[in-house]
Amino acid sequence: MDVNVTEKFITDGARMIADVWDKEYRGGRYAGESPVGFAGEVLAELARRPEIQHSRGLYVGCGNGRNYLKLAGADLDVIGLDVSAAGLEQIASKEPSLAHKLVQCDFLNYDNGMFGYIVAIQSFQHGDAARTAEYFRRAAAMLDAGGLLFVRVNAADTDVGHPHRITERSGGGFTVLYEGGPKSGLHVHFFSRGELEAAVTGSGLRMTRPPRMVTTKRPGGAPGSWSQWEMVAAREG
């Protein structure tokens, strides 16, 4: 498999993330699932901004391609970055022509120049408040002037499923450590609106589409719901 694996960059902080998601993808997670609506909105926004659309992009946490394949299939020149080798291998076997664009690396250790846009769909929530805030600072530092950041992350309004304990509360948001279920052992952050806005503006970005909450009922009649923020920000030009 010709995936650009830089295993040495999977540091301790990201090892647990990689292990959990490797297991999930090998177990069939997202197989056959449609892209989320936000991926279509990324394409629509880029179509309005041809100079950014034709620049080099980065998808952080491309997983096994549910959304990444939609973007790359629309002729975007977009690198797919993930800590999960299993996810990247599934993308490469579905679309071998994309293998050279796939990189296994923790985003916090990734250093490969500047990008016109960065997409992060359900990846910037992996870790505690400090780690997840750092994702926004890193993204801002990698964006060209005027470049766009597209983010979908967990919202604090979620009814968290699976056994867990809350390990910290921060500005209306909170971090959980899962103690059961598929993410057992993982720290995951749930953002309040204010916290998300502070992460964006504190990184020197300007919100161009304020956070909008999207709530999904748990499948199969399970109780509770799961909420995500979707937002777009720009680096000042």
Place of tokens 């120049």: 113
Cα distance between residue 102 and residue 2, in whole Å: 9
Cα distance between residue 97 and residue 78, in whole Å: 13
Pick from 53, 122, 158, 192 the residue near ligand SAM by CB under 6 A: 122
Q: Which is nearer to ligand SAM, 51 or 180 (CB)?
A: 180
Q: Which stretch binds ligand SAM (CB under 6 A): 13-21, 71-79, 162-170, 211-219?
A: 13-21
6 burial type by CB count under 10 A (0-12 exposed, 13-18 middle, 19+ buried): middle
Pick from 67, 132, 170, 228 the residue near ligand SAM by CB under 6 A: 67
Q: Is 72 in the site for ligand SAM (CB under 6 A)?
A: no
Q: Is 229 in the site for ligand SAM (CB under 6 A)?
A: no
Cβ 41 to ligand SAM shortest distance, Å: 14
Q: What is the CA radius of gyration of the chain?
A: 17
Cα distance between residue 197 and residue 190, in whole Å: 13
Chain residues binding ligand SAM by CB under 6 A are 14, 17, 21, 30, 60-63, 66-67, 81-84, 87, 106-108, 121-123, 126
